[in-house]
Amino acid sequence: MEIDAPTATNWGPFGRPLFNDPSAQALSRVGVVDVGSNSVRMVVFDGAARSPAYFFNEKVMAGLGTDMATSGRLSPDGKERALSALKRFQLLAEAMGIGPLTAVATAAVREAEDGEEFRHRVLAETGLKLFVIDGEEEARLSAQGVLLGWPGAYGLVCDIGGSSMELAELRDGNVGKRLSSKLGPQRLKTIKGGKKGVSKHIKAEVEKLAEQMGAQRDRLFLVGGSWRAIARIDMDRRGYPLAVLHEYRMSRKSLYKTIDYIQDNDPEELRLRSGLGEGRMALVPLAAQVLKEVIRAFKPYDIAISSYGIREGMLYEQMPQEIRDRDPLIEACRFAESKDARMPGFGRRLLEFVEPLFTARNAPAKRLIKAACLLHDVSWRAHPDYRHEVCFNEVTRANLGGMTHQERVFLGVALFHRYKNNRNGSPFDELFELIDDETKQRAEILGKALRFGAMLTASEDQPMGKLKYQPKKKRLELHLADGTRGLFGEVAEARLQSLAQSLGGVDVSVKGR
């Protein structure tokens, strides 16, 4: 079944509106449970309305669909494990004081002979109603989850579970064609004919999907635990230094190498090296075969991992367009500033102060400058000797959407220099290398401008003065406002000189002393 667009009388599986006010900046805490063929997961969302954060996230590899392909019924052990997890989740939700949990069930429950019976048992023993969705609706919600993280995303979304694999087309920020297939690795285990028979079956099924979907040469977004596991192995094989799966990019060439690597190495060794669970690793070899055929058939220009899927898509479903149109990165940073900064709102004035330094063509995107200004003071509670490290760690590993790994590192380097002049002897050298020297330099300039600008105010309404940068003349001017003269002491002057050095050793003059 398809979840209708929310109306005043229909709010889909939530049964209530999540975004009463289209101008809302924050989301009231909401819990979602996804009952899949492999796992049962509960996520509690909180935080910025446009960029909800994970207040709580727990998964149990119940294996509901383990026996589906042979028996047509849910796994007896899987049902008990799933039910146990759902009871726990319900108790946790009550303890957290959140509204009723919203639970969605996918391929295993919708196709099993005893799926309806299991739903009734869940309702009787936990009070939780399982909202069962069909394959095309699963594809649509997964694609909307991708849109939550990537506004305006375009390409092909591929969501794999234990019993099925869904495809959805994204164009101009909208979901287009949708298909569902039976290419889940749990189901593929029962295909006859050995490795050759499985390989032949996968190839034939993917070719049918490609024929129905048509040309899809843009980005391929991968959603689902088995794809994330393959990405973990790809990171390990490449020695990639940033262990953040969301927005992790891979080329076709790299993935082909990783798929061969999976086939040529001992699964247990790969599991231990990549930190994967036994249940997940058991599905990886078959999932890797499917992925290889998907890449061959669709030939995407690159591949990106999305940590957002059905659960996030359900939230996106209810978002008014006014909220959807916001930048998820800026919304998350604005929420962090309002919650954790010493002077909420100062980030806007700091942005106005540092902007004159970035007028050239090669300046970083304004949204990244704005994000850095909003986040410049949210880590003030950390020990002064470690604030630069805490800032870098938090922004590069945070649950933030709308940002590439390179943008994470840029933002991290900028906030690193908000608290420290140089990067010598830093434990983050490997991560710094994810961006080129010119980008590192721009991040350093931004960070040192934040470091200096933060000294030019003592209250929320005090004027900061202005910077005037003339790169061709190699001049930097500071025009002090009336209220800032007394704040411009020797430490502030040293920070201004440090900023000038990062700009290439420009001459500095101070007006209005």
Q: How confident is the model at residue 361 (pLDDT cuts 50, 70, 90)?
A: low
In a 3-state reduction of DSSP, which class is residue 463? coil
pLDDT at 4: 44
Question: In which band, very low, low, confident or very high, does the pLDDT at 22 lie, cut at 50, 70 and 90?
Answer: confident
Task: Quickly state the pLDDT bin for 21 (edges 50, 70, 90).
Answer: confident
CATH fold of 328-511 reads: Hypothetical protein af1432 (1.10.3210)
Structure tokens belonging to residue 369: 């400058």
- The pLDDT confidence band at residue 468, using thresholds 50, 70 and 90, is very high
Q: Which helix (H) or strand (E) holds 302?
A: strand 302-305
Adjacent-strand bridge partners of 33: 42, 103
Tokens of 243: 């262990």
Alpha-carbon distance of 151 to 403, in angstroms, equals: 11
Residue 180 has pLDDT above 70, yes or no: yes
CA-derived radius of gyration, the chain: 25
Judged against a pLDDT cut of 70, whether residue 229 lies above it is answered with yes
CATH superfamily of 12-134: ATPase, nucleotide binding domain (3.30.420.40)
What's the confidence (pLDDT) of residue 19?
74
Residue 270: its pLDDT value, please? Answer: 94
The CATH H-level superfamily of 136-311 is: Exopolyphosphatase. Domain 2 (3.30.420.150)
CA–CA gap between residue 326 and residue 151 (Å, rounded) = 8
Kindly report the average pLDDT of the chain as a whole number.
91
User: From the centroid of its chain, how far is CA 414?
Assistant: 21
d(CA 365, CA 338) in angstroms, rounded, equals 23
Residue ranges per structural domain of the chain: 12-134, 136-311, 328-511
> Which of 30, 130, 13 is closest to 83 using CA atoms?
130
Angle CA(79)–CA(80)–CA(86) in degrees, nearest 5?
Answer: 85
The answer to whether residue 290 scores a pLDDT higher than 90 is yes
> Both ends of the chain: CA-CA distance in Å?
70
Residue 402 is classified by DSSP as S
Dist. CA 281–CA 117, nearest whole Å: 30
Whose CA is closest to 442, among 372, 346, 348? 372
pLDDT at 2: 43
What's the predicted TM-score (pTM) here? 0.91
pLDDT of 386-432, one tens digit each?
A: 999 999 999 999 888 889 999 999 999 999 999 999 999 899 999 99
Alpha carbon separation from 212 to 117, 168, 186, 284 (Å, rounded): 34, 11, 24, 26
Contacts 24+ apart (CB under 8 A), 8-11: 11/318
Q: Quick one: how far is CA 139 from the chain centroid? A: 18
Which letter does DSSP use for residue 128 in this model? Answer: P
Region for residue 219 given its phi and psi (left: phi exceeds 0; alpha: psi -120 to 50; beta: otherwise): beta
| Residue 11 pLDDT | 60
The pLDDT of residue 10 is 55
The runs of H, that is alpha helices, within 97-134 are: 107-111, 115-126
Question: Whole-angstrom Cα distance, residue 355 to residue 366?
Answer: 8
Contacts of 343 (CB under 8 A, 6+ apart): 377, 457, 460
More confident residue, 349 or 6: 349
- What is the Cα–Cα distance from 158 to 161, expressed in whole angstroms? 10
**Does residue 472 have a pLDDT over 80?**
yes
Closest C-alpha to 471, from 388, 387, 379, 361: 361
Q: Torsions phi, psi of 113, nearest 5? A: -60, -35
**Do the domains 12-134 and 136-311 sit in the same CATH topology, yes or no?**
yes
At 1 the pLDDT is: 41
Contacts of 247 (CB under 8 A, 6+ apart): 149, 304, 305, 306, 403, 404, 405
DSSP SS3 for 32:
strand
